[in-house]
Amino acid sequence: MNSRPGVVVAIAVFLLIGSPKASFAAEPFDLVIRNGRVMDPESGLDAVRQVGVRDGTIAAISEEPLEGLRILDATGLVVAPGFIDLHQHAMDEESWRFKALDGVTTAFELEVGAADVDRWYADQAGRRPIHYGVSVGHIKVRMAVMGDRPSFLPGADSGAATRRASEAQMEAIRSGIEKGLRRGAVAVGFGVAYTPEATRLEIMEMFRAAEPFGASCHVHMRQGGRLEPGAIAALQELVAAAAITGAPLHIVHLQSTGKRVTPALLKLVAEAQANGLDISAECYPYTAGMTDIRAAFFNPGWREKFGLDYGDMQWGATGERLTEATFRKYRREGGLVIVHANPESIVREAVAHPSIIVASDGLKGHPRNAGTFCRILGHYVREDRALELMAALRKITLMPAQRLEKRVPAMRKKGRVRVGADADLTLFDPRTVSDRATFTEAFRASVGVKHLLVGGRLAVVDGVLDEGLKAGRPVRAPVSP
């Protein structure tokens, strides 16, 4: 009997203010995405749902209507996790615009990376429409230790490309790698093809530096092609370094380095994974690559080694095919050259392989900088049918997030459409999504990405980028002194 007054009071209070759950449900969301086809590669969800966004986070996914301060009608659109690019070089405003219109919400520079990680993040702060992150780069640190002038890549006659490291220099390089990792670098980047005098022991020592930090090693292999030692030997070197040190390995643009040996490389990667090694690989969906014409890649003997000739190269600035004379001219001047080296059949096999992540290797003057992700969805899913849509989304959202999340906890909330995940979302029309950039007209934005949410903020609305919105935030591993 003594408890009844308390019960009556409790019921009265409940009726007056409602339950906490009811109160939360009644509060409108910042944004509601209505009637979109929600596709989540992690759970397999593929159904029409309503998505409620609050404070930059996915707060609800419902079959029932939701109320929001702003409503976005997604009828006929796919609502996917924001695309994640593990391999972006170009850092100018136009290139970041292309990334957003290609559906990318987070882009990383993980191959070349940076020597001074703190400075790199400071330079990007408040300037980007999408999220950003960087590795500590073996190339960059080696250039600094060898006394080279700052540049994107070392020239063929630079110290980083031509000199073997002494014991003291190797220790200095390792120290620079470890400092970058302490300062929150997402991974360790390598371009062994650009530093050919970096010995196998040196590369293994840098893997050893990465392992205690749980940092993946993103590597442009030492050499490619069929001639021995070629792409097979280059991959074996890296698999051995990963197996011995325990450091995770990620092979960048496998099809570009492998060329016609790519099918064998794909088999080796899959077998290494099946045997328990933490190895992943990426490709971009184009038949030509791009690099600096001054790189050691083009040292004498390159035509025989790679089975290429001058006419297989296209000058990035003008689109002209090279001759021996123009090759020598541009080699002296320096700049980016497109290298036509792969048949479409090789690219298609790499894109469709279940072990392969898609990443752009974005550089100005190459169509991959603007069109990589919409090309996957338009050409390889809708037109060529090399991939099912969910499998393609997995390669450009969940798989890249999973590659980094061991070291970077923030990535556990990206690459998914689920309650509690970051509201980084790409809404695209599967009937029209397509790349438009070509090898002769590389500066053409993709189409079909209707809306883009970056941290819950609308960066793209009806296919138009909000140029004034700098919603991008740093994605960084834990920082220590």
Look at residue 312 and tell me if it is in a domain. Answer: yes
Question: 215 and 304, same structural domain?
Answer: no
Domain boundary (387, 416, 445) is at: 416
| DSSP class per residue in 153-220 | S--TTSHHHH-PPPHHHHHHHHHHHHHHHHTT-SSEEEEGGG-TTS-HHHHHHHHHHHGGGT--EEEE
Look at residue 205 and tell me if it is in a domain. Answer: yes
Question: 119 and 204, same structural domain?
Answer: yes
Number of domains present in the structure of the chain: 2
Question: 191 and 299, same structural domain?
Answer: no
Question: 315 and 196, same structural domain?
Answer: no
What mean pLDDT do residues 162-184 have? 98
Look at residue 435 and tell me if it is in a domain. Answer: no
Q: In the predicted model, what is the mean pLDDT of the chain?
A: 93
> CATH code at 207?
3.20.20.140
Question: 358 and 298, same structural domain?
Answer: no
Look at residue 439 and tell me if it is in a domain. Answer: no
Question: 236 and 320, same structural domain?
Answer: no
Q: Which of 166-170, 187-191, 268-272, 335-339 has the lowest mean pLDDT?
A: 335-339
Helix 167-182, helix 138-145: angle, nearest 10:
130
DSSP annotation of 392 reads: H
Share of the chain above pLDDT 90, in %: 87
Question: 143 and 204, same structural domain?
Answer: yes
> Which own/partner contact pairs does 61-67 have at CB distance under 8 Å and 24+ positions apart?
61/417, 61/418, 61/419, 65/34, 66/29, 66/32, 66/34, 67/28, 67/29, 67/32
Residue 9 has pLDDT above 60, yes or no: no
What mean pLDDT do residues 386-397 have? 98
Tens of pLDDT, residue by residue over 262-313, are 999 999 999 999 999 999 999 999 999 998 899 887 989 888 877 889 999 9
Tens of pLDDT, residue by residue over 107-134, are 999 999 999 999 999 999 999 999 999 9
Tens of pLDDT, residue by residue over 340-375, are 989 999 999 999 999 999 999 999 999 999 999 999
Q: What is the pLDDT of residue 299?
A: 87
Q: Which of 142-151, 302-311, 396-405, 409-418 has the lowest mean pLDDT?
A: 302-311
Domain boundary (308, 341, 374) is at: 341
Question: 132 and 175, same structural domain?
Answer: yes
Question: 301 and 279, same structural domain?
Answer: no
Instruction: Give this prediction's pTM.
Output: 0.92
Question: 379 and 277, same structural domain?
Answer: yes
Question: 380 and 247, same structural domain?
Answer: yes
SS3 347: helix
Domain residue limits at 296: 288-341
Domain boundary (416, 432, 452) is at: 416
What mean pLDDT do residues 175-202 have? 98
Residue 77 has pLDDT above 50, yes or no: yes
Tens of pLDDT, residue by residue over 33-52, are 999 999 999 999 999 999 99
Look at residue 214 and tell me if it is in a domain. Answer: yes
Q: What is the pLDDT of residue 68?
A: 97
Q: What is the pLDDT of residue 26?
A: 65
Look at residue 151 and tell me if it is in a domain. Answer: yes
Look at residue 49 and tell me if it is in a domain. Answer: no
| Higher local confidence (pLDDT), 378 or 1 | 378
> Which own/partner contact pairs does 297-305 have at CB distance under 8 Å and 24+ positions apart?
297/193, 297/194, 298/156, 298/331, 299/156, 304/227, 305/223, 305/225, 305/227, 305/230
Question: 232 and 102, same structural domain?
Answer: yes
| DSSP class per residue in 214-248 | T--EEEE-S--SSSSSSHHHHHHHHHHHHHHH---
Look at residue 235 and tell me if it is in a domain. Answer: yes
Share of the chain above pLDDT 70, in %: 95
